[in-house]
């Protein structure tokens, strides 16, 4: 058995499937122009796919609009969600007077802890 070796194909080097009988789907190319840097990006979609009116620019990350003939598609951003900050979410749960009251409570607590800590530190130094 030492004089014989097992032979085979390299893993991942070749596919055992053939393209025989495979029918490729129709494709269409669409051009997107960036609103910021002005670069054009060509993307390939299936011919019957719904093509988005806006795409993210690969160069700068800004919005690129679908070019239709000589013009561009228009995108309506009125339904987009506006990002909320932590402050906006806090104001949804509490009113300003409630927040001021909580702030005063916490400041009183912190001042009391600091005051007690300073007294202990002074006692340790005196002793």
Is-contact 30 54, C-beta < 8 A?
no
For residues 22, 41, 70, 80, the Cα torsion angle rounded to the nearest 10 degrees is 100
12-24 per-position pLDDT tens digit: 666 667 778 888 8
Domain 27-72 has CATH 2.20.28.270: yes
57-81 per-position pLDDT tens digit: 988 888 899 988 777 777 777 777 8
**Whole-number Å distance between alpha carbons of 20 and 44:** 24
Mean pLDDT of the 30-37 span: 90
Is-contact 51 73, C-beta < 8 A?
no
Q: Where are the beta strands (DSSP E) in 1-127?
A: 27-34, 40-46, 54-56, 63-68, 71-72
Mean pLDDT of the 38-64 span: 90
Confidence band (pLDDT; 50, 70, 90) for 121? very low
**Whole-number Å distance between alpha carbons of 15 and 5:** 23
Domain parsing of the chain, residue ranges = 27-72, 86-126
Cα-only R_g, the chain: 33
Confidence band (pLDDT; 50, 70, 90) for 127? very low
């Amino acid at each position: 058995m030492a004089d014989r070796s097992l032979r085979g194909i390299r893993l991942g080097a070749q596919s055992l499937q053939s393209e025989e009988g495979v029918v490729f789907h129709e494709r269409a190319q669409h051009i997107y122009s960036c609103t910021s840097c002005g670069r054009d990006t060509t993307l390939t979609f299936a011919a019957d796919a719904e093509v988005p009116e806006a795409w993210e620019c690969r160069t700068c990350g800004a919005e690129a609009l679908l070019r239709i003939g000589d013009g561009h598609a228009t995108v309506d951003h009125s339904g987009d969600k506006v990002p909320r900050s932590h402050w906006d979410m806090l104001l949804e749960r509490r009113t300003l007077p409630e927040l001021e009251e909580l702030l005063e409570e916490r400041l009183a607590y912190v001042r009391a802890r600091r005051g007690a800590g300073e007294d202990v530190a002074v006692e340790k130094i005196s002793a």
